[in-house]
Amino acid sequence: MTVMVFSFGLTLLLFFVLPVIQAITKIPEPDREIRKMDVSFQQEDTEEPEPEPEKEPEPEETQETPQEVEALDLSQLEIAVGASMGSGWADGGFGLKIDALVGAAGSDDDSIAFADLDQKPRATRKVEARMDNAMRRQLPGEVVLLFEVDENGNVQKPRVQSASHDCFSRPALEAIRRWKFEPGKKKGKPVRSRMKLPMSFKKK
């Protein structure tokens, strides 16, 4: 009887203990599943960008500086505007009839034409014409004067050849009578000479 109880107890013990021992001693098998890894990489654009072509500097616009116009004295002015004149009054391109003016001067006129002078007259004193209200209303204006310069440099026989308005004539004549010149010369001697002068009136 005792042997049977002991055998039953041992069998029961083995029944409960054996699974526990198996569970402890069981080595888990390694996970043989190979996981696929996404090894795709985004390729970086390592190519250096082509350098932009350098823009050629635009040529600077060269502004033409207006050349200063050298002030001309009266003799230079007459040379500039009357280079084509012959005997008689200097024709400054105003359609002047030279022969008619020479004849009007008279046969006893001993004045020398501007083109025949060795040294041209030069203004040494200039007087501006006085303007009144009537003249100011007509600005700008111009008077072309004809006159003679005697051996002493004084103005003689001034007269108006043309005027943009009659109101400018008298003040222009009054002003030119007060001008003073270094007389023109012929063969080294001061002589009487004929002159022409455009006198302009402008707003200041």
Predicted pLDDT of residue 55: 62
Percent of the residues in the chain that have a pLDDT greater than 90, as a whole number? 28
For residue 134, tell me if it sits in a domain: yes
Instruction: Point out the least confidently predicted range of 5-14, 47-56, 140-149.
Output: 47-56
Q: Is there a domain that residue 26 lies in?
A: no
Q: Is residue 131 part of a domain?
A: yes
Q: Give the tens place of pLDDT for each residue, 22-72.
A: 666 665 555 554 444 444 444 455 555 566 666 665 655 444 433 333 333
More confident residue, 94 or 30: 30
Residue 34 lies in a domain: no
Class of residue 105 by CB neighbours under 10 A (exposed 0-12, middle 13-18, buried 19+): middle
The confidence score (pLDDT) of residue 178 equals 94
Q: Is residue 47 part of a domain?
A: no
Residue 5 inside a domain? The answer is no
The band of 152, judged by pLDDT with boundaries at 50, 70 and 90, is very high
pLDDT at 204 over 90: no
Range of the domain at 178: 116-204
Distance of alpha carbon 125 from alpha carbon 34, whole angstroms: 117
The domain that holds 161 is classified in CATH as: 3.30.2420.10
SS (H, E, C) the chain: CHHHHHHHHHHHHHHHHHHHHHHHHCCCCCCCCCCCCCCCCCCCCCCCCCCCCCCCCCCCCCCCCCCCCCCCCHHHHHHHHCCCCCCCCCCCCCCCCHHHHHHHHCCCCCCECHHHCCECCEEEECCCCCCCHHHHHCCCEEEEEEEEECCCCEEEEEEEEEECCHHHHHHHHHHHCCCEEECCEECCEECCEEEEEEEEECCC
Average pLDDT, the chain: 68
pLDDT band at 117 (very low <50, low <70, confident <90, very high): confident
Q: What is the model's pLDDT at position 38? A: 46
Q: Does 154 fall in a domain?
A: yes
Predicted TM-score (pTM) of the model is: 0.48
Q: Is residue 102 part of a domain?
A: no
Domain count, the chain: 1
